[in-house]
Amino acid sequence: MFNARLDQLPAYPFPRLATLLDGIEPGQPPLVMSIGEPQHEPPAMITEAMVKHASLWHKYPPGAGTPELRDAIKNWLDRRYNLPKDMIDRDDHVLPVAGTREALYLIATTVIPQDQPGPKPKVLLPNPFYQVYCGAAVLNDAEMVPLAAGPENGFLPDLDQIDAKDLDACALFFLCSPANPQGAIASRAYLEQIIALARKHDFVLAMDECYADIYDSTAPTGALEICAAQGGNMDNILVFHSLSKRSSAPGLRSGFVAGDAKIVKRFTALRSYCSATIPMPVMAASTALWNDDAHAEANRDIYRAKIDIAEEVFGNRFGFYRPPGGFFLWLDVGDDEAATRKIWKETGVKVIPGSYLSLTDAKGNNPGKQFIRIALVHDLETAREGLTRIAKALES
């Protein structure tokens, strides 16, 4: 009575972490640094907009979002990526979604063929990866092709090493920049290369750019910037953005997809049958957030200050490096599970083993095995306390 493909999914990281730590008493008051859930104070404009538009709770929200929200998204894309004003059409190229996790999953249902003869279509994804990429592939009966994204290739998949047969059979390629968990940022040249591959081999490139407004020194290049430089051609390209990280509002469940108008149209049709739509007051709050860049800049400054603290605490130990983007630390600890247990037992800080965010390949290699991920989502004082505790545990 159940979908047998559910049994093919790897164990989800957080229940797996709970099992790993079960029975271990934390040595100090618990502090959770394993989950990328921003704890910064959300902008006041969220509450203000929702109160102002509270009369709209009795309205069914339009699936494609309000014109005002689509305008705000288009205008933000234009500002953030310096796009030509006539490149993005709010009605053809933009689709608000109830959080990007849902959208990243459902895009696979939209673009992975289900009835073609021959071998299964393939989904290429970085390894480590965001878990929804894996679920999207498995539950749409595609073959996953994990691409190692370790320090030897700058924590991004090596595009030159991908088997041509995998590219030919690829229906969907997930790429996250800035990367979760490593913080790597794809360069212009890298994006040009992967966009060229998408068009040559006719697969959809799903660019997960949810951390695009959280960076250390240089604003990450976006896929649509490359499209603009190529005359505005967005064929085969979709970008995914969210307010969860940019605006410290994960509970808002608000994001968008933008890009190839043909795919957006088909995706909109699918969502009419299966997706929750963003409530009208939430759309009003989202509109206000996309129209405002000052709060995102202030948010970025706080994350940058926490990276400064991490650099002070760790220095050049445990493979520490300043992540160019995002808000995770990816520390080299040798044995990820042993380090996670030790940190919890001695300090009460909860981190997550890197192997829980990665797949083990056919040769038994897991590119996350030697790492732990630390989420810098708390206030400065709490971040310093947690990082200091972790450092002491690792030192011993």
Q: How far is CA 3 from CA 6, 14, 112, in A?
A: 6, 22, 18
pLDDT for 60? 93
Distance CA 302, CA 100 (A): 24
pLDDT for 276? 85
| Percent of the chain clearing pLDDT 90 (strictly above) | 93
Q: Does the structure show a pLDDT above 90 at 154?
A: yes
Residue 108 near residue 132, CB atoms below 8 Å: no
> Angle at the Cα of 247 (from 241 to 248), degrees rounded to 5?
110
Query: In the structure, what pLDDT confidence band is assigned to residue 115 with cuts at 50, 70 and 90?
Result: confident
| Domains 4-41+295-395 and 59-292 equal at CATH topology level | no
pLDDT for 203? 98
307 three-state secondary structure: helix
Of 146, 152, 133, 217, nearest in space to 178 by CA: 217
All residues at 6 or more sequence positions from 357 whose CB lies less than 8 Å from its CB, including other chains: 13, 128, 129, 131, 181, 368, 373
CATH placement of domain 59-292: 3.40.640.10
Q: Does the structure show a pLDDT above 90 at 215?
A: yes
- Topology of 4-41+295-395 in CATH? Aspartate Aminotransferase, domain 1 (3.90.1150)
Distance CA 227, CA 199 (A): 12
Distance CA 73, CA 284 (A): 12
Distance CA 39, CA 45 (A): 17
Residue ranges per structural domain of the chain: 4-41+295-395, 59-292
218 three-state secondary structure: coil
Residue 231, sorted as left (phi over 0), alpha (psi -120 to 50) or beta, turns out to be: left
Distance CA 3, CA 334 (A): 38
Return the number of other C-beta atoms located less than 10 Å from residue 209's C-beta. 25
pLDDT for 28? 95
pLDDT for 116? 80
Q: Does the structure show a pLDDT above 90 at 396?
A: no
**What is the torsional sign of CA 80, 254, 209, 340?**
positive
55-114 pLDDT tens trace: 999 999 999 999 999 999 999 999 999 999 999 999 999 999 999 999 999 999 999 998
Distance CA 325, CA 215 (A): 4
Residue 253, sorted as left (phi over 0), alpha (psi -120 to 50) or beta, turns out to be: left
Alpha helix positions (H), the chain: 13-21, 44-52, 67-81, 100-111, 131-138, 164-169, 188-201, 223-229, 243-246, 261-274, 280-290, 294-314, 336-347, 380-395
